[in-house]
Structure 1
Amino acid sequence: MQRPASPRIDSTVFWVAAVLSALFVAWGVFFADSLAAVFDAVLFDFLVPSFGWVFILSSFGFLAFSVYLAFSRYGRIRLGADDEQPEFRTVSWVAMMFSAGMGIGLMFFGVAEPMTHMGTPPAGAAEPNTRGAAQVAMEYSYFHWAFHPWAIYAIMGLALAYFCFRRGMPNLISTAFHPLLGDRVYGPAGKTIDILAIFATLFGSATSLGLGALQINEGLDVLFGVGGRDAVGLAIVVIVVLTLCFILSAVSGVHRGIQWLSNTNMVLAVLLLFFLFVVGPTVFILDTFVQSLGGYLANLVPMSFRTASYGDSEFVSGWTIFYWAWWISWAPFVGTFIARISRGRTIREFVVGVILVPSLVSWVWFAVLGGTAINLQLTGGADIAGAVAESQPAALFSTLSAFPLSGLTSLIAIILVALFFISGADAASVVMGMLSSKGNINPRAWAVVVWGVFTGAAAAICLLAGAIQGSVDAAITALQSVAIASAAPFVLILIGLCFSLLKALRADRGPDTLAAPEPDRAISGTGGAPAPQQMSAESPQERDRRRI
Structure 2
Amino acid sequence: MSHTTASSDSRASSAGSRLGDPIVLILSIGFIMGFVALSVYDIEMVANGISAGFAWTAKTLGSYFQLLLLATFFIAMGIAVSPSAKARIGNLETPEISTFKWLSMIMCTLLAGGGVFFAAGEPVYHFVVTPPAFDSEAGTAEAISGALAQSFMHWGLLAWAVLGTLASVVLAHAHYVKGQPLQPRTLLYPVLGEKVMKGPFGGLVDALCVIAVVAGTVGPIGFLATQVSFGFHELFGVSEGYSTQLMVLAALGVVYVTSAVTGIHKGIQILSRFNVFLALAIAATIFILGPTLFLTDAFTQGAGAYLSSFFEMATMTTQTAPDWWMQWWTVFFFAWFIGYGPLMAIFVARISRGRSIRQMILAVAVMAPVATMIWFTLLGGSGIYYQLSGAIDLTEALNNFQFDVATLTVAQSLPGGSLMAMAILLLTTIFVATTGDSMSYAISVVGAGHDEPNALVRAFWGIAMALMAAILLRMGAGQISALQQFIVITAIPVSLVLLPTLWTAPRAARQMAKEQGIL
Gaps of 5+ in 1: 518-548
> Could you tell me whether the CA contact under 8 Å between 1:32 and 1:464 is conserved in 2?
no
Q: Match of 1:197?
A: 209
**Residue of 213, 222, 230 corresponding to 1:218:** 230
Of 214-223 and 95-104, more deviation after overlay is shown by: 95-104
Q: Which runs of 5+ in 2 are unaligned?
A: 1-5
For residues 26 and 236 of structure 1, do their structure 2 counterparts lie closer, same or farther at Cα, with a shift above 3 Å needed? Answer: farther
Structure 1 counterpart of 2:513, from 510, 513, 522 = 510
Partner of 1:28: 39
Is 1:168 equivalent to 2:179 in the alignment?
yes
Query: Within the alignment, does 1:39 sit opposite 2:50 as a pair?
Result: yes
1:115 aligns with 2:124: yes
- In structure 2, C-alpha distance between the alignment counterparts of 1:275 and 1:475, rounded to whole Å: 37
Instruction: Calculate the TM-score normalised by the size of structure 2.
Output: 0.89
Report SS of the residue matched to 2:320: coil
Q: Quick check: 1:197–1:332 contact (8 Å CA) kept in 2?
A: yes
| Rounded Cα–Cα distance in structure 2 between residues aligned with 1:487 and 1:235 | 29
Distance 1:54 1:232, change over 3 A: farther
* Cα shift at 1:53: 1.8
Contact 1:151 1:355 in 2 (8 A): yes
Question: Is the partner of 1:383 in helix, strand or coil?
Answer: coil
- After superposition, the C-alpha distances for 1:355-382 in whole angstroms (9 at most, x for unaligned) are 1110111111011111111111112222
Shift of residue 305, structure 1, vs aligned partner: 0.6
Matched, 1:4 2:2: no
Q: TM-score, normalised by structure 1?
A: 0.84
Q: Which amino acid aligns with 2:149?
A: E
Instruction: Supply the RMSD in Å over aligned alpha carbons.
Output: 2.7
* Paired residue type of 2:360: F
Q: Give the conservation status (yes or no) of the 8 Å contact 1:13–1:194.
A: yes
Identity %: 29
Task: Provide the secondary structure at the position in 1 that maps to 2:329.
Answer: helix
- Determine if the alignment matches structure 1 residue 67 to structure 2 residue 77: yes
Q: Aligned pair in 2 of structure 1 residues 233, 32: CA closer, same or farther (>3 Å)?
A: farther
CA distance in 2, matches of 1:406, 1:69: 46
**Residues 15 and 128 of structure 1: is their aligned pair in 2 closer, same or farther, counting only changes over 3 Å?**
same
Within a 5 Å distance, the mapping from 1:55-454 to structure 2 comes to 55-81=65-91, 84-100=93-109, 103-123=112-132, 125-153=135-163, 154-184=165-195, 185-226=197-238, 234-235=244-245, 238-251=248-261, 256-389=266-399, 391-437=402-448, 439-454=449-464
Q: Deviations over 1:195-222 (max 9, x none)?
A: 1221122111112212322321221122
How many Å apart are 1:491 and its aligned residue?
A: 1.1
Output one character per residue of 1:53-110: Cα deviation in whole Å (capped at 9) or x when no partner: 22122111211221222233533333244x8343345455444434447622122111
What is aligned with 2:500? 496
Partner of 1:13: 24
Aligned residues: 504
2 CA distance for matches of 1:296 and 1:380?
A: 26
SS of equivalent to 1:484? helix
SS of structure 2 residue aligned to 1:212: helix
**1:503 to partner: Cα distance:** 4.5
Deviation track 1:211-253 (CA, whole Å, cap 9, x = no partner) reads 322321221122122355xx56754553344234433443356
2:361 and 2:183 map into 1 onto residues whose CA distance is 21
Please give the alpha-carbon distance, in whole angstroms, between the structure 2 residues aligned to 1:443 and 1:97.
Answer: 20
Please give the alpha-carbon distance, in whole angstroms, between the structure 1 residues aligned to 2:265 and 2:145. Answer: 43
Structure 1 pair 403/12, CA: closer, same or farther in 2 (3 Å)?
Answer: closer
The answer to whether the 8 A contact 2:216-2:339 is kept is: yes
Q: Tell me: CA distance 1:102–1:482, structure 2 relative to 1, closer, same or farther (3 Å).
A: closer
Letter in 1 for 2:217: S
Distance in 2 separating the partners of 1:253 and 1:375: 41
Decide which moves more: 236-245 or 188-197.
236-245
Instruction: Quote the Cα distance in structure 2 between the aligned partners of 1:55 and 1:140.
Output: 17
How far apart, in 2, do the equivalents of 1:175 and 1:352 lie?
23
Hey, what's the Cα distance between the residues in 1 that align with 2:111 and 2:418?
A: 23
2: distance between equivalents of 1:43 and 1:180?
29
CA contact (8 A) 1:200 1:332 kept: no
Match of 1:521 in 2: none
Secondary structure at the residue paired with 2:95?
coil
> AA paired with 1:195?
A
Q: 1:514 to 1:294 in 2, by over 3 A?
A: closer
Deviation of 1:423 (Å): 2.6
Letter in 1 for 2:384: I
Q: State the 1:387 CA deviation.
A: 4.4
Moved more, 71-80 or 8-17: 71-80
Distance (whole Å) between structure 1 residues aligned to residue 178 and residue 148 of structure 2: 42
Alpha-carbon separation, structure 2, partners of 1:396 and 1:278: 20
2:440 and 2:105 map into 1 onto residues whose CA distance is: 19
Supply the AA of the counterpart residue of 1:4.
R
Q: Structure 2 counterpart of 1:501, which letter? A: A
Partner of 1:534: none
